[in-house]
Structure 1
Amino acid sequence: MALIVLRALFVMVSVGIAVSIFGSDAMRHAPQWLPWGVLAAMIALPLTVMGIDAGIKRKNLTTITAVYFGLLVGVLLTYVSMLALSPILPPDRDGPVWAWLPVILGSVLCYFCTSLLLQTRDDFRFLIPYVEFARDVRGLRPNVLDAASIVDGRIADLAEAGLFESRFVIPSFVLDELQASADASDRTLRTRTRRGLDMLSRMRANPRIDIDVLAPGDEDDDAMATDSRVVSMARRLGGRVVTADANVMKVAGLHDVAAINVNDVALSLKPAFVPGDALAVRLVKQGDEPDQGVGYLDDGTMVVVQNGREQIGRTVRVSVTSTLQTTAGRLVFARPEASRA
């Protein structure tokens, strides 16, 4: 609604300018068709500008702000420069130097200021009162999600639990990759990807979770691997990568970018067991040794029970004897309480 009002005011202002031109001295002796031509041009001008504006679907706030501040600083420097140069310029202010020097100097300074801000817009924060305060509330580092963490699905549960305070960022090329995988011929890949997209929809529906989809920067190289592009965006945003892929962790480490592995987070949240702890587990299969029974806790931890073969298919009370940490997770060794020494 506000945009419609703005565009209507733009057209009204343009028509008002045309009416002002009608009353000027130059128009009194002009041909009869000229006022109508001016009116048509002043109506066509805002319509053309609004058409171009509507045609540019994706607008980058930092780029627009950089151009705005670059022009503003350039004009200010031009004014200051003319004040500084006035003692050494010709005294005739109606001469060509005073007529053209401000225009030439202004164009050069506006170009340099705008170019400088466009090339360094990621190092400076424009609209400081809004951006900086929002970052203080939502956290200092955005969490950049890759495809593996989204397909994994556990990131939604971690976000809803309030483990991450800062916003989540999904690169647009990662979302494109997921949408392509959702239509893949591989049934398993298609199912897992669609589940990941459902997790994203759940996160977006939660008002406590701030999640954005960002396009890659101008320096992004489409020829790079997706993992490298994710790490590059995280470095540009000053954020950290959230992944479930160990290879992405290695790439982030090589580029000195902070990264979080969802698997490591899930592993650290599993309860720690010490010898003597008692727990109940349902034995579902035989272990590697003839007398072993194997069961799983609710979090997926494997429990190997000595002398448990005869109890397969039952829920038994066991006592922990030792634990072993492996790359696949934590193993718990136990024995039935009745057999505890």
Structure 2
Amino acid sequence: MLRKVLRILFSVIGGSLGFIIGRFLLKIDYFSFFNETTLKMVIFYILSCLLFGLITFILFPAIYGLIRKLLDYVENHMQKLTAIEIIFGAVGAIIALIIASMFGSILTSIPKVGVIIYACVNIVAAIIGADLSVKKRDEIMGVFLSFKKSGANKEKKGKTSFKGTAKVLDTSVIIDGRIFDICQTGFIEGTLIIPTFVLAELRHIADSSDGLKRNRGRRGLDVLNRIQKELNVDVEISEKDFPDIAEVDIKLLKLAQVLNGKVITNDYNLNKVAEFQGVPVLNINELANAIKPVVLPGEEMNIQIIKDGKESGQGISYLDDGTMIVVEGGRKYIGENLAVVVTSVLQTPAGRMIFAKKKD
């Protein structure tokens, strides 16, 4: 029904267009024959309206198909945008149109083509304004939030305010849980950014049929709740997404680039990719290794041999912080306390290993 109504409406528009074109044609000497009598003019107008009305009636399916494709294209892209992005795009387009209207009197004064140029300038300005506003949404919001926080800090003297770059948390570091203790010490400054796609991944893990994954996901959600409720740090849920990117880790790096912030993780592979892309990373494991007690070759310690090592005759022990000690010839002392001397220390991104031998 709607299609039929639109077809009739298009035909009427075509007929109206034919009337306007007919008036223009009658001013040309070639069509002066129809100006001789009123009857001829009426016949010419009727023929012009019928001709263009028929043309639009015939071309309607093609025009309707193009309009449908355009609407579907716009709808699909609009669905990928968040409500905040749509609002920012609309505001940006309005501001751009206001700026463009300042030059309206200059452009419209150009003979013949002035109005067309003015219309084109308005369209281009609206598109550029909307695009810039959406892309710079986080920076614009950051400016307003900084004003808001500065005002809030004056009213609330008791709350400590930290200034620094934004810290984007990845899924692994949230599930790990040590981020809560680090934030509690006050060594992390700046706003903690929790992307919505990370929350979606956590929720997916928490709903897993695998019991171990389910517990890890729920622990991650509990850690986030504790950070929001118990710690004096700024936490922001970022709705920024990148639909063209499938992997969550790559989205994290892209978001950190957009916010000009840093990624907090304990994922070794993500750390390497971030270094390659030039994104600053704070690795929890590297921090843990950095604060472990320093052990130098020649130092003596008393340890308990727990199990045998990979190589023949080796025994394995552990310090309280989990550092592995490999003792040459320590296999026969499993279950016993043994005085050893450190021979060397191996530092790797995965952790620290201490090599020792039995004290003479």
Query: Equivalent residue for 1:75?
Result: 98
Contact 1:294 1:304 in 2 (8 A): yes
Counterparts in 2 of 1:116-131, with a 5 A limit? 117-122=132-137, 124-125=139-140, 128=143, 130-131=145-146
Q: Residue in 1 aligned with 2:279?
A: 257
Answer yes or no: is 1:174 the counterpart of 2:198.
yes
Are 1:158 and 2:182 an aligned pair? yes
Structure 1 CA distance for aligned equivalents of residues 265 and 230 of structure 2: 21
Structure 2 CA distance for aligned equivalents of residues 221 and 266 of structure 1:
35
Structure 2 Cα separation of the partners of residues 144 and 120 of structure 1? 18
Larger radius of gyration: 2
Please tell me whether the aligned partners of residues 304 and 333 of structure 1 are also in contact (alpha carbons under 8 angstroms).
yes
- Deviation (angstroms), 1:235: 1.1
Distance 1:315 1:125 in 2: 62
CA deviation profile, 1:35-59 (whole Å, cap 9, x unmatched): xxxxxxxxxxxxxxxxxxxxxxx75
Corresponding residue for 2:165? 141
User: Is 1:329 the counterpart of 2:348 in the alignment?
Assistant: no
The one-letter code sitting in structure 2 at the alignment partner of 1:250 is K
Structure 2: unaligned runs, 5 residues or longer: 1-81, 151-160
The AA in structure 2 aligned to 1:187 is G
Distance (whole Å) between structure 2 residues aligned to residue 256 and residue 245 of structure 1? 16
Residue 302 of structure 1 aligns with which residue? 324
1:236 to 258, 266, 275: 258
Alignment of 1:272 with 2:294, yes or no, is yes
**Other structure's SS at 1:170 match:** strand
Q: For residue 126 of structure 2, what is the aligned residue in structure 1? A: 111
Residue 242 of structure 1 deviates from its aligned partner by 1.6
| Superposition deviation, residue 304 in structure 1 | 2.8
Q: CA 1:107–1:152 in 2, change beyond 3 Å: closer, same or farther?
A: same
Cα 1:158–1:317 change in 2 (3 A) is farther
Contact 2:317 2:326 survives alignment (8 Å) = yes
The TM-score, its normalising length taken from structure 1, stands at 0.63
Aligned-partner residue type, residue 331 of structure 1: M
- Structure 1 alignment gaps of length 5 or more: 1-57, 90-99
Specify the code of the residue in structure 1 equivalent to 2:136: R
Superposed displacement of residue 241, structure 1: 1.5
Post-superposition offset of 1:164: 1.3
Tell me, yes or no, if structure 1 residue 285 matches structure 2 residue 300. no
Structure 2: distance between partners of 1:309 and 1:285: 7
Separation in 2 of the partners of 1:321 and 1:127?
Answer: 52
For 2:269 and 2:175, the matched residues in 1 are separated by 16
1:275 touches 1:321 (CA, 8 Å); kept in 2?
Answer: yes
Deviating above 6 A after TM superposition, structure 1's stretches of 4 or more consecutive aligned residues are 82-86, 103-107
Q: CA deviation at 1:71?
A: 3.4
Alignment partner, residue 220 of structure 2: 196
Q: In structure 1, how many angstroms separate the alpha carbons of the residues matched to 2:196 and 2:144? A: 27
What code does the residue aligned with 2:317 have?
G
Contact 1:291 1:307 in 2 (8 A): yes
Give the TM-score normalised by structure 2. 0.60
Contact 1:221 1:229 in 2 (8 A): no
Note the C-alpha offset of 1:175.
Answer: 0.7
Whether contact under 8 Å (1:75, 1:109) holds in the other structure is no
Does structure 2 retain, via aligned residues, the 8 Å contact 1:142–1:240?
Answer: yes
Equivalent residues of 2:168, 2:194 under 8 A apart:
yes
- Cα distance in 2 for residues equivalent to 1:124 and 1:200: 24
Is the CA contact (8 Å cut-off) linking 2:138 and 2:259 kept in structure 1? no
Deviation at 1:182, TM superposition (A): 0.9
Residue identity opposite 2:133 in structure 1: L
Secondary structure of 1:323 counterpart:
strand
1:227-264 Cα deviation digits (max 9, x unpaired)? 11111111111111122222222332343222222222
The structure-2 alpha-carbon separation of the partners of 1:242 and 1:105, relative to structure 1 and needing over 3 Å to count, comes to same
For structure 1, which segment, 167-176 or 110-119, has the greater mean C-alpha deviation from structure 2 after superposition? 110-119
8 A Cα contact 1:75 1:110, kept in partner: no
Q: CA deviation at 1:273?
A: 0.8
Given residue 190 of structure 1, which amino acid in structure 2 is its aligned partner?
R
